[in-house]
Structure 1
Amino acid sequence: MATKQSGKVGRPRGFDADEALDRAMRVFWEHGYEGASLSCLTEAMGISTTSMYSAFGNKEELFRKVLERYTAGPGAYLNRALDEPTAREVAAAILDGAIRATTCPTNPAGCLGVQSALSVGDSGREVRDLLADWRNNGCSRVHERFRQAVDTGDLPAGTDPGLLARYVTTLVFGISVQAASGATRDELQEMADAAMRSWPIH
């Protein structure tokens, strides 16, 4: 006599969620938030719109997941750079990481977090604000690291850590824009080297 099984067996998703996010990342990276249509996203991800909504939510929720994946992937150089032993090495590692990330031949040029929503309509306002917060958070973390460097004497006592952090992150944003405009890795490295020559010294 057959017994009735309790509960329901979940249907397999049928696709690799991480791979789908990586593909969505490329679409947002290349076309920006508003330029990435749902049809373009789902085609690249290899899933239906229904599957996308079921697995990732709406377009904005998908973008938030993509940004998290970008931060842990191509954008992870910031976390590594902040662990460098001196403020100068932190700044050099940030610039080097930005150059490598924005000119990697296997990825779109530029930075997802800089280019995706600098100019959007009302429908993309929350994403624009999300990315502004994302960029400001990065600057704040660099600021805190440089403040520690001033406190320990690694940076001269009169150094403004906030101004220095803004200087470095502005260079990073400029690197992204230049990379997206076709600047080569060597050209961007020359710019970074020139910037580091003005680094505060005792």
Structure 2
Amino acid sequence: MTGHEKALIGRPRGFDAEQALRRALMVFWEKGYDGASLADLTGAMGITKTSMYAAFGNKEQLFRKALELYTEGPASYGMQALQEPTAQAVATAFLNGTVQATTRPECPAGCLGVQGSLATGDLGRPARDALIEWRNNARLRLEERFQQAVDEGDLPRDTNTGRLARYIMTVSFGIAVQAASGITRGDLQEVADTALRSWPPA
């Protein structure tokens, strides 16, 4: 074997990092942080552990990158909903977006932000903490948007914006859990519609 041939064998195989990250996202989404083994991840990504560490860092760092991709992609409905002109339209877009995102036929059912941290042990604490922060940020953004609606006269002056944001988030995550349990998109849309009929909640 020539030196050139040895160099080719020893050279790391090139791969599409973005595509690999999308595949890792699907594994985390389906199996959660704890349930996704390194073998699961590298197998889906089509790379070795060495290449994974070199490109993305350890499992926790990979998960954080996957969560960013999830936020910018499947979960982008959350940020888009905040741009709606009224608080009720924001809540409607947020819940409708949840239904759509958690029941995509080409993706795992449910929400990465919910099942990603289920049954997470001590080793997965950083990932669980990242998801808690992720969920809390979403709630705070909703609360800020609802406060804007109060200031603009779109919501009653005595509206408890924190409670209203928690209500929408609770319904949203409940929808995600039900989606992961196999409830159909149509049935979940009825849940979202029902939750919004008494807007704003008493």
Tell me if TM exceeds 0.5: yes
Q: Report deviation, 1:12.
A: 7.8
- Cα contact 1:156–1:200 (8 A) shared by 2: no
Residues 125-174 of structure 1, C-alpha deviation per residue, up to 9 Å, x if partnerless?
Answer: 11111100000000000000000101111001111011000000111100
- Partner residue, 1:192: 192
Percent identity over the alignment is 64
Matches within 5 A, 1:49-198: 49-198=49-198
1:118 Cα deviation from its structure 2 partner: 2.8
Cα displacement (A) at 1:200:
2.4
Asked if 1 retains the 8 angstrom alpha-carbon contact of 2:34 and 2:119, the reply is no
Which amino acid in the other structure matches residue 28 of structure 1?
F
Runs of 4+ aligned residues of structure 1 deviating over 3 Å after TM superposition are none
Q: CA RMSD in A?
A: 1.2
Contact 1:143 1:164 in 2 (8 A): yes
The one-letter amino acid paired with 1:165 is A
Match in the other structure for 1:43: 43
Measured in 2, the distance between the counterparts of 1:121 and 1:105 equals: 30
Tell me the amino acid that sits aligned with residue 96 of structure 2.
Answer: D
Deviates more, 1:118-127 or 1:40-49: 118-127
Q: Residue 174 of structure 2 aligns to which amino acid in structure 1?
A: G
User: Quick one: distance in 2 between partners of 1:118 and 1:64?
Assistant: 16
Alpha-carbon distance in 1 for matches of 2:119, 2:85: 37
Give the Å deviation of 1:13: 6.2
Cα displacement (A) at 1:101: 0.2
Count the aligned residue pairs.
191
Conserved? CA contact 1:86–1:154, under 8 Å: yes
Structure 2: how far apart are the matches of 1:159 and 1:73? Answer: 32
SS in 2 for 1:66: helix
Q: Which runs of 5+ in 1 are unaligned?
A: 1-10
CA distance in 2: counterparts of 1:157 and 1:33, whole angstroms: 42
Partners of 2:75 and 2:38 in 1: CA distance: 25
Structure 2 distance, partners of 1:200, 1:38, is: 45
* Letter in structure 2 aligned against 1:62: L
Listed one character per residue, the Cα deviations across residues 34-76 of structure 1 (whole Å, up to 9, x for unaligned) are 1100011001000000000000000000000000000000010
| Structure 2 unaligned blocks of 5 or more | 1-10
